[in-house]
Amino acid sequence: MTTVLSTLLDLVLRLALWLLVAPLLPGIVNRVKAWVAGRRGPPLLQLYYDLARLWRKGVVLSDLASPGFIAGPAIAWVALLGAALLMPLGPVGGALDFRGDVLLFVYLLAVARFCTAWAALETGSAFEGMGAAREVSFAVIAEAALITAILALAVQSGSVALDAMLDHPPGGGALMLAAGLFTVLLAENCRVPFDDPNTHLELTMIHEAMILDHSGPPLAIILHGAAMKLLLFAVLLPQTVLPMGEWPPLAAAGILAGSVLVVTIGVGLVESLLARLAFRQVPLLLTTAFLLCLFALLLALRSGGIPAAADDALRRPVATTAGVPPGHSDNPMEGGAR
């Protein structure tokens, strides 16, 4: 009974963490951008106010919209929450962790993107269809970089469980892996230089174009899901280069919170100091992120990953019996030459 209660309490605390802390990150990004520009900027809790306002509003539906217009954002939000519950938090493993959970983690992120694009296509709007097409096109390279980074962590740790992968000491390609994952973070969350979340020109939108027709609670779900996805990658990135599995829980929690804050401030600085790329240049930057993750994977293979151990086993000399010519057996029951 005590074990069940402790498990339920842990799950409730994790849900509260992911649901309540996630909207804070976009506020930090906006305040950093305002500070760099010399402005006062919006309140730090602005997204909380926006979510509360949207939940009180009604939903305006297009005549062409199908049930997928409402179901898509809800399914995407549930998928992102499931991926968040799989994410280890320092020395504390994921709430739903199991062997091979990294595969489910990747698939849940893909489901969230698919459902968001599906809801955009259900409106019959040319702008939302254009945004969905751009999102899916760029996601092909971004997902390849993310999967390559996960393969590097799996080879380096010899495990396909997220908690074991993130607890293993970083290898020689840790900096390249971190740079590649930070680029993927910007692309997956539609931040500058890949997209501009504050743009008002439909022809240049990617993510914002997919939610032009959403309003009320569905729009609140989309905005909260986007904030939760940003928090998810901000938690994943520091743990790939700074394993915290052996640290005391309080120290690990403080370091992880500080690392998430540093990553969030880094996103704000990138958005302040860099301009948005032209669409034809986006695949080049995503390919660079993929190559960085690929080099990290090659270094993990060379420094003693799973294939290296198998290669050592193959090169190990096989014990033979001296004096027995080839083609003969030293077992008297086999009758000598074959």
Tens place of pLDDT per residue across the chain (338 aa): 678 888 888 899 999 999 999 999 999 999 999 999 999 999 999 999 999 999 999 999 888 888 999 999 999 999 999 999 999 998 888 888 899 999 999 999 999 999 999 999 998 888 899 999 999 999 999 999 999 999 999 999 999 999 999 988 887 899 999 999 999 999 999 999 999 888 777 777 888 899 999 999 999 999 999 999 999 999 999 999 998 878 888 999 999 999 999 999 999 999 999 999 999 999 999 999 999 999 999 999 998 765 444 444 334 444 444 444 444 444 444 444 43
Reading the block at residue 82, the tokens are 């499931």
CA distance 278 to 196: 12
The answer to whether the bond into 193 is cis (omega within 30° of 0) is yes
Q: Is 254 left (phi over 0), alpha (psi -120 to 50) or beta?
A: alpha
Reading the block at residue 216, the tokens are 């009320």
Reading the block at residue 22, the tokens are 């996630």
Q: Is the pTM of this model over 0.75?
A: yes
The answer to whether the bond into 332 is cis (omega within 30° of 0) is no
Q: How many CB atoms lie within 10 A of CB 30?
A: 20
CA distance 194 to 271: 10
Look at residues 288, 300, 299, 302 and name the one whose alpha carbon lies nearest to residue 145: 288
